[in-house]
Structure 1
Amino acid sequence: MRIIKVKVQNFRGIKSADLILSNHTVLVGDNNIGKSTILEALDLVLGPERLYKFPVIDEHDFYVGNYSGNGADQIQINIEVLLIDLNEEQLRKFRNNIEYYNKETHTLIEGPPAEETDQPGVYPVLRVAFKGFYDEGDDDFKGETYFCHPEAGEGEKHSSFTKTDKRLCGYLYLRTIRTGSRALTLERGSLLDIILHLSEIRPKMWEDVLSQLRIVSVADDPTLGISDILSSVQKSIRAFVPIEWADSPRLRVTSLTREELRRVLTVFIGTGEVDDQGIEYGAPYQHQGTGTINVLVLTLLVMIAELKQNVIFAMEECETAIPPYAQKRIVNNVMSIASQSIFTSHSPYVLEEFTPENILVVKREKGVFTGTPASYPPTIKPKKYKEEFKKRFCEALLSRRVLITEGRTEFDAFPSAARKLHEIDSSRYSTLEGLGIAVINAETDSQIEPLGKFFKDLGKVVYATFDKQEPTVKAAIDLVVHHSFEAPETSFEKVILNGTADTALRRFAGELVSSKEWPSHLHDKTPTSEMPLEELKGALLEYFNWSKGSGDAGHLLSQCTEHELPVFVKDTLLAINATIDS
């Protein structure tokens, strides 16, 4: 079983969403866009324990906090999930709730003729939903899950989608905040308890443990003074009540019941250090490192998935406090054992394990949440995809906005200038990072147009900066990007040299010479304090052409004051700021 489609209405920051999911999907996008909200929405429908949380929802779970209304005007949270690829047991269990779905058109088959269900690409599906609302009569928030088919008649309710039904669907959700507080105890519903239940292991140790604890006396030694105080308490009490009321007070280890014992039993884990007796010291699992706790919780969920054998595994930020090699192993392990896996991630090491069609690039505008499957970037062949993805495309996929630069010099220069200007005047300028803009190097002017279209189709806000172009080329670029900035020169190196103040150029050139970074093959053009300005610009032009990729253009601009920077660079950065501030 797996989720093929999910619809969300009025839930948290999402007014509406309609997503199609593949077998293994990673949701990518900027922070606070709604990725976690989608996984929480799935948990409201499919999580066996979720409806037992009190309250199931609250006012902050409604879109913009609006939950008032009565009758037909009642505002509801509605989440609908379409499940496909049911196994034989699930088909038998849900036989009265089965509908049919065309995977080619992504539509449900409604009504006769019956032959429609035998067509290629048509599969049986299960449609289940969650409804959350405010009950004015009870002054409380309520939620329920139900089967969407068959339709309820007038005055009737849909059939309930129960906890037992949900367990058969096998939705496992690992949130990004993983304290392990209920993972490694034997509390009912904890991950360890679920594993014991699935393994049909019923530990019958509770009464034995409690009996042993009840006979252990504490502080009976008179030299401690505690027993004398307790005896005094007993004598004082007898002045007021009969002897039977408070006889023989003493300290015991615990007054736990079986349920309380389940909650407090704690797993201890070796720390790798040994005591004076050569025995490894064990500490409670919650005293372990963040990464260790994350892996422990994940391991328990993987064990559950292996025992159930038919699970939908949803996981937020699997890279949290985990090294890159472990991230890759986790992703591949989960995908190998789960019938479906759904991840959120900001890690290039995780994203490169997915083919582009399994990367769902998401965005949200005015409450409308959408997802677009990625594709291979232009000119990138599949065999070079992983290498290029980490190097050039990952950051852009994860951001809301993208700035495409024609070459490496611009790629270095604009972020550096933006940081410097923000340092000088933060009220007028922002860093590109602060604006949520990822910078990508097109490597040539001919790639600006295809890259612009690629990122625009993914729902990104696209900016582009490039050298002076032919009118037809610029017009083509303008069609596929939101904001374009054409330089007044035919090369960006000339923009820097002709636009930067003379004092800054001489300062930069002098630093290159004094630090012995001036190349030997340009020895006859070594800058001096007496060198004419035009001759200096010519020498620096040759230097920049030779040192492309070394970040020297960015270094030059980072040394400038606001008045020393090229006007084109300042105007471009101000214009970019204006598009976001507005």
Structure 2
Amino acid sequence: MGIIIEEFRIRNFKCYESVDVKLKNSSLLIGANNVGKTSLLEALELCFTPYKRVSEELVFIKKDEVLDRNKKIILDVLVSPEKEEFDEMWHQFFGKFVVEGDLNDYVALRTIVKYNPSKGEYDLERVALNSWPSSEEVISYNNYNNNPVKREILESIPVFYLDAKRDIVTEMGDKFSYWGKLVKDINITDDSLQEMEKSLNEINDNIIGSSDVLKHLSSSLNKLSNVMNSNGNHVEINPVSRKIRDLDKGMEIRLNDRDSESFSITNQGMGTRSWATFLTLSAYIDWKIKEMDTEAKPFHPLLLLEEPEAHLHPQAQRKIYSQMSRLTGQKIISTHSSIIAAQVNLDEIIHIYKKGNSSNLNYLNLKGLTLPELRKIKEEVLKTRGDILFADTIILCEGETEDQVLPVFFKEYFGYEPFELGVNIVSVRGAGNYKPFMRIAHDLDIDLFILSDGEKRIIKDLKKHYCQVYGKRTDSEIQKNITFLPLECDFEEYLFDSGYQKEILEVIDLIKGKKAFIEEFIKKNNGQTGKSKPTEEKCDSCEQYIFKKEIKDYSGEIGFKQAVIECISNMKADYSSEIAEYILQREGPDRVPSLLQDLFFNIATEKTYSITKLFVKETEEKLNDKPE
């Protein structure tokens, strides 16, 4: 459309004390409930809505702060050309508001909400800026353009806001809705109008003349003239509207599939009604574009869409985002849908979160990433585990066993399911797959903890990747967030070595149904060639680890242990959760393995905001009683 809202600055609005928002032609706001996504949309709507009531409730205040009447809301918008300069139409339209910047021209607009002592209420004022101040100078900046910001500016950058409570049935009864604005004037010529209304009158007369009931009712109602003491009164019943201008009041949308009778939209589910509202908005925008083109006026629609996935099943969510992406105009969309988040470009994601007094935001840092690294973030994280975008804390683990048992032990230790505390437990399916998840957690300021196997090469590689993402760290700093299993073992071997042999064997017996299974397993596989395993040696030419075949030896206690580990490793999906449940039948502190207690203790004592004050109070005794 020739321009773009490139940056939006918010000072002292609702839950925002100070944020600078970088916007694309399409931007996606993600984050948990009540972090400020809707407030950001409302702030942007306030900038381009001609008339809007404002009050002190919009002013950001900290906890226990007393509102100072001198405190102002400031909303700054940077309007930039899609190229280096505005095209002729936009340049002429903005006129003296255009500022020649170092890189490109721009227009800077400010909306101010401040207290008016003479009126005893808050006023809204709009001005243009003569330059774009630095972020630190926003509050003190007052170099305003002398020319007023007229209504025409707002009409050429209109806001179309569709909130999450949308319903086409409600829209059809509201003359100020997008439906109401479209159908209020259906643009019929006078000749056609007279002919149609003549036909409508004939239809009404024929219906009443053919119905004994309606004739009887009409005759009775005309007795009103006796009561009103007037011979000039006449009552008529209109089964169908006689005036074209009134047709919109009785309009109806009906849907039918190929094999059934049509049904009114009022009888459809909320998903269909929500989607119909979105399509009505799309139709209205297209119609306005035609009108503005006819009048040769510049037009840049600003679409603020709240939770477009509401009431829609997963496939429909994919379809509606595809439709949204084709809409003309600049789009800012808020969502809780990981399906929608997986479809956008990575640089379009704006993560909103709240820590402390105010809401804040961040972005994925894509600078310097290679195409394979970008693909891994999109394909291996967002498309498969996009729900982590809405987490406060992420616990990463390597394998299937940890993925199943960690939630069980987490609930035992904390007394809450992980999701109740905003915690996501994610198996990365292999030691080499941690890095994309680390990048997401780091860039979006999500607390990250890892439970890793203890092989030397895995420890070395994981520490290297962690430092690449989070910056150089000492081993003691790394250990606050990464828990390594001891003695180069995996999780199954750790449980066996930590005294849980009894539970492991009981689960094997439960699933296999006989006590002699391990002995038969040993007899069958002893002396066979095992899988290739990496050594600590590296090839001089390619720097890759050297893999060597191992011969299986199940003799003695060590051999028996190896047989048990291999047995459960071959069928982790069957064993893992059962082993955790059997361990929880124990009495005493070892109901949760000590290494996991250390991991959970770190989560509870680090900067994890998902652990609420109530939770900390309830778990204080457990933390104090943590084994040395």
- Mapping of residues 359-438 of structure 1, within 5 Å: 359-365=349-355, 366-375=357-366, 380-382=372-374, 386-390=378-382, 392-419=384-411, 421=412, 428-438=414-424
| Contact 1:495–1:566 (Cα < 8 Å) also in 2 | no
Q: Does 1:457 align with 2:443?
A: yes
- Mapping of residues 500-519 of structure 1, within 5 Å: 501=500, 504-514=503-513
Secondary structure at 2:492 match in 1: helix
Residue 63 of structure 1 aligns with an amino acid whose one-letter code is F
Secondary structure at 2:325 match in 1: helix
Q: Does 1:166 align with 2:166?
A: no
Alpha-carbon distance, 1:436 to partner: 0.9
Aligned-residue CA RMSD (Å): 4.7
The match for 1:332 is 322
The match for 1:35 is 37
The match for 1:113 is none
Residues 332 and 379 (structure 1 numbering): CA distance in 2 closer, same or farther, change over 3 Å? closer
The match for 2:347 is 357
Alpha-carbon distance, 1:164 to partner: 3.2
User: Whole-Å Cα distance in 2 between the matches of residues 202 and 160 of structure 1?
Assistant: 38
Residues 225 and 28 (structure 1 numbering): CA distance in 2 closer, same or farther, change over 3 Å? closer
Alpha-carbon distance, 1:417 to partner: 2.5
User: Whole-Å Cα distance in 2 between the matches of residues 210 and 60 of structure 1?
Assistant: 54
Secondary structure at 1:63 match in 2: coil
Secondary structure at 2:168 match in 1: coil
Alpha-carbon distance, 1:150 to partner: 8.5
Residue 92 of structure 2 aligns with an amino acid whose one-letter code is R
User: Whole-Å Cα distance in 2 between the matches of residues 576 and 381 of structure 1?
Assistant: 28
Secondary structure at 1:96 match in 2: helix
TM-score, with structure 2 as normaliser: 0.69
User: Whole-Å Cα distance in 2 between the matches of residues 393 and 286 of structure 1?
Assistant: 36
Alpha-carbon distance, 1:453 to partner: 5.5
User: Whole-Å Cα distance in 1 between the matches of residues 40 and 612 of structure 2?
Assistant: 28
Structure 1 stretch displaced more, 205-214 or 19-28: 205-214
Secondary structure at 2:310 match in 1: coil
User: Whole-Å Cα distance in 2 between the matches of residues 303 and 441 of structure 1?
Assistant: 44
| Contact 2:518–2:563 (Cα < 8 Å) also in 1 | no
Alpha-carbon distance, 1:6 to partner: 0.6
Residues 202 and 503 (structure 1 numbering): CA distance in 2 closer, same or farther, change over 3 Å? farther
User: Whole-Å Cα distance in 1 between the matches of residues 72 and 100 of structure 2?
Assistant: 27
The match for 1:554 is 577
Report the count of equivalent residues: 528
Alpha-carbon distance, 1:4 to partner: 0.8
Alpha-carbon distance, 1:541 to partner: 1.1
Secondary structure at 2:420 match in 1: coil
Residues 325 and 432 (structure 1 numbering): CA distance in 2 closer, same or farther, change over 3 Å? same
Q: Does 1:75 align with 2:74?
A: no
Alpha-carbon distance, 1:389 to partner: 3.1
**Match of residue 268, structure 1, among 234, 241, 253:** 253
**Match of residue 9, structure 1, among 1, 8, 11:** 11
Residues 270 and 458 (structure 1 numbering): CA distance in 2 closer, same or farther, change over 3 Å? closer
Residue 249 of structure 2 aligns with an amino acid whose one-letter code is V
Residue 19 of structure 1 aligns with an amino acid whose one-letter code is V
Residue 373 of structure 1 aligns with an amino acid whose one-letter code is L
Q: List gaps (5 residues or longer) in structure 1.
A: 102-115, 117-121, 423-427, 527-531
The match for 2:481 is 483
Alpha-carbon distance, 1:230 to partner: 8.4
**Match of residue 112, structure 2, among 131, 140, 163:** 131
TM-score, with structure 1 as normaliser: 0.74
Q: Does 1:312 align with 2:302?
A: yes
| Contact 1:411–1:441 (Cα < 8 Å) also in 2 | yes
Residues 342-373 of structure 1 show CA distances to partners (whole Å, capped at 9, x for unaligned) of 22223333223222222223333331412223
The match for 2:280 is 300
User: Whole-Å Cα distance in 1 between the matches of residues 173 and 121 of structure 2?
Assistant: 32
User: Whole-Å Cα distance in 2 between the matches of residues 196 and 247 of structure 1?
Assistant: 32
Secondary structure at 1:25 match in 2: strand
Residues 484-522 of structure 1 show CA distances to partners (whole Å, capped at 9, x for unaligned) of 434445322123234465553343222211399x89993
Residue 483 of structure 2 aligns with an amino acid whose one-letter code is F
Residues 124 and 519 (structure 1 numbering): CA distance in 2 closer, same or farther, change over 3 Å? farther
- Mapping of residues 210-229 of structure 1, within 5 Å: none
Residues 396 and 281 (structure 1 numbering): CA distance in 2 closer, same or farther, change over 3 Å? closer
User: Whole-Å Cα distance in 2 between the matches of residues 453 and 476 of structure 1?
Assistant: 19
Residues 171 and 510 (structure 1 numbering): CA distance in 2 closer, same or farther, change over 3 Å? same
Alpha-carbon distance, 1:76 to partner: 2.4
User: Whole-Å Cα distance in 2 between the matches of residues 521 and 164 of structure 1?
Assistant: 85
Q: List gaps (5 residues or longer) in structure 2.
A: 133-139, 290-298, 464-472, 526-555, 614-628
Residues 302 and 374 (structure 1 numbering): CA distance in 2 closer, same or farther, change over 3 Å? farther
Residue 344 of structure 1 aligns with an amino acid whose one-letter code is S
The match for 2:468 is none
- Mapping of residues 254-265 of structure 1, within 5 Å: 261=246, 264-265=249-250
Alpha-carbon distance, 1:301 to partner: 2.4
Residues 416 and 300 (structure 1 numbering): CA distance in 2 closer, same or farther, change over 3 Å? same
Residues 501 and 224 (structure 1 numbering): CA distance in 2 closer, same or farther, change over 3 Å? farther
| Contact 1:405–1:440 (Cα < 8 Å) also in 2 | yes
User: Whole-Å Cα distance in 1 between the matches of residues 370 and 405 of structure 2?
Assistant: 24
Residues 177-230 of structure 1 show CA distances to partners (whole Å, capped at 9, x for unaligned) of 211256446825534524887xx9468769959995998989995998997698
Secondary structure at 2:394 match in 1: strand
**Match of residue 599, structure 2, among 557, 572, 577:** 572
Alpha-carbon distance, 1:338 to partner: 2.8
User: Whole-Å Cα distance in 1 between the matches of residues 514 and 197 of structure 2?
Assistant: 77
Alpha-carbon distance, 1:544 to partner: 3.0
Residue 569 of structure 1 aligns with an amino acid whose one-letter code is L
User: Whole-Å Cα distance in 2 between the matches of residues 379 and 547 of structure 1?
Assistant: 36
Residues 146 and 544 (structure 1 numbering): CA distance in 2 closer, same or farther, change over 3 Å? farther
Residues 175 and 461 (structure 1 numbering): CA distance in 2 closer, same or farther, change over 3 Å? same
| Contact 1:7–1:19 (Cα < 8 Å) also in 2 | yes
Residue 125 of structure 1 aligns with an amino acid whose one-letter code is Y
| Contact 1:362–1:371 (Cα < 8 Å) also in 2 | yes
Identity %: 16
Q: Does 1:540 align with 2:571?
A: no
Residues 513 and 259 (structure 1 numbering): CA distance in 2 closer, same or farther, change over 3 Å? same
Residues 380-438 of structure 1 show CA distances to partners (whole Å, capped at 9, x for unaligned) of 5455555323455522223232222243332332123324x27xxxxx42221111122
Residue 76 of structure 2 aligns with an amino acid whose one-letter code is E
